[in-house]
Amino acid sequence: MTQSSIVDDLVRIGLTKNEAKAYQSLVRLGRSTARTVAEESGIPRSKVYETLELLEKRGVIKRVAGADPTQFDPAPVDAALDHLEEKVTSSATSARKVLKGLQALRGTEAKEFAWAVQGLEQVIMDMRTAIESAQEYVYIASASPGLLSHLRGAFSTAKNRGVNIELTTTTPGFEEVKGLEHYLNARVAMPGKDLLMDGFREMFQTPSLSPDDWEPTRILIMNIDGRESIAVFLPGEETTQPWLLHIRSRLVIFIQWHVVKTLISSVELIIQSRTS
């Protein structure tokens, strides 16, 4: 993990960017003066005292009594992060209660038939909302299920309501989601990329379609209670954003279900021809 990503994580649990830089520097340096923290963290000298005082008020660092010049000491990492997390959780609980009341006053709204979103955070939020609305089951199929690691909270909420969650993936893919076995049942049944590409080589020879356009191992399909269907298209490069297509229609999902079954049957034939 890079230093910038640590700062980003600390910002997500309530610190400002300068506070995150200062605390990270104090953890690395130990007891230090404001000047040393400024030099180590890159925080402007004009801002460092204010930043350290704010951290002191949060309780994650303390001023060393009697030191001249003034020195600051970081609280132990576990204690400091637990303290910050509890404050975030408490604030979220209070905000949830008020906002759900406002949401209830808004009344029922018309729901879209289908929509698409792009970007990792938007994709995760759409999937989270769908999973938390499930009443009976969530079925997921993907050879690249690493994205599911962002949805532990949603899986936990659904499982606690008795929702059955199943994942079909490849053996290497299942290794990407270690720890999720507490929330979902996983089975290994899907072939890998090379086998799929080889089996559909004739399809790729047509001018209108190439392997770059249709990457079977970078797609995640999710079905919720047979009433909603989600397809997530994962990028092959870090510079490209994932995008998601969400469909809410039993008729479309029924048709899609038959398409998926047909595709699976074709894949099974490919496997049989390789093993016979």
In the predicted model, is pLDDT for residue 19 greater than 90?
yes
For 192, phi and psi rounded to 5 degrees?
Answer: -85, 180
In the predicted model, is pLDDT for residue 200 greater than 60?
no
Per domain, the residue ranges of the chain are 3-79, 114-275
What is the pLDDT at residue 210?
A: 46
- Its CATH architecture, for the domain 3-79, is Orthogonal Bundle (1.10)
What is the pLDDT at residue 203?
A: 45
The answer to whether the Cα torsion of 203, 209, 213, 219 is positive or negative is negative
In the predicted model, is pLDDT for residue 30 greater than 90?
yes
Please indicate, yes or no, whether the overall pTM of this predicted structure exceeds 0.75.
no
Residue 76 preceded by cis peptide, ω within 30: no
Q: Is residue 120 within 8 Å of 233, Cβ to Cβ?
A: no
Average pLDDT over the chain reads 79
In CATH terms, 114-275 corresponds, of 3.40.640.10, 3.40.50.740, 3.30.870.10, 1.20.120.640, to 3.30.870.10
Which stretch, 47-61, 99-113, 193-207, has highest mean pLDDT?
47-61
Per-residue pLDDT, averaged over 70-87, amounts to: 92
By percentage, how much of the chain surpasses pLDDT 70? Answer: 72
In the predicted model, is pLDDT for residue 212 greater than 80?
no
* CA atoms of 242 and 234, how far apart (whole Å): 5
Q: In what order do the strands lie in the sheet with 164-169?
A: 114-118, 243-247, 228-233, 219-224, 137-142, 164-169, 185-188
Q: What pLDDT, in 10s, does the model give residues 136-188?
A: 999 888 877 888 888 988 999 999 999 999 888 776 556 667 778 788 887 76
What is the pLDDT at residue 209?
A: 42
What is the pLDDT at residue 194?
A: 57
